[in-house]
Amino acid sequence: MPDKIVKPDEEWRKQLTPDQYQVTRGKGTEPAFTGKYWNHHEDGTYSCVCCANPLFQSDTKFESGSGWPSFSAPVEPDSVATETDTTYGMRRVEVVCNKCGAHLGHVFEDGPKPTGLRYCMNSAALNFEKK
């Protein structure tokens, strides 16, 4: 993984829309079935909206029924990192961009084979580049 990106909060606020900032830097969640990529089916690569780090390929995207874009695996194992999230009285595994620390969503162990994982991401945390 290339060098980590660290910016002051005011720079992130200038770079991102209010929704992108709230999700990626404020660890927010967009409402289900509202993000631009939850029902998106083009071939290409999803990257971090903050730093352009490639995160997920469209061939790992699947319909989870959750209302958020869901993927079975990241582009590379070190594209993302995980952290324990105990907010809202739950114990979940948060997924962050391994390059800039942006909150992307959560990962669950109810995905398809072969990984069995469901990376449930926020559209506001992603950009998409068509193949």
Catalytic residues: 120
* HEC-encoded secondary structure of 13-82: HHHCCHHHHHHHCCCCCCCCCCCCCCCCCCCEEEEECCCCCEEEEHHHEECCCCCCCEECCCCCHHHEEE
Q: Which residues, at least 6 apart from 80, have a Cβ–Cβ distance to it below 8 Å? A: 55, 74, 95, 96, 97, 98, 104, 119
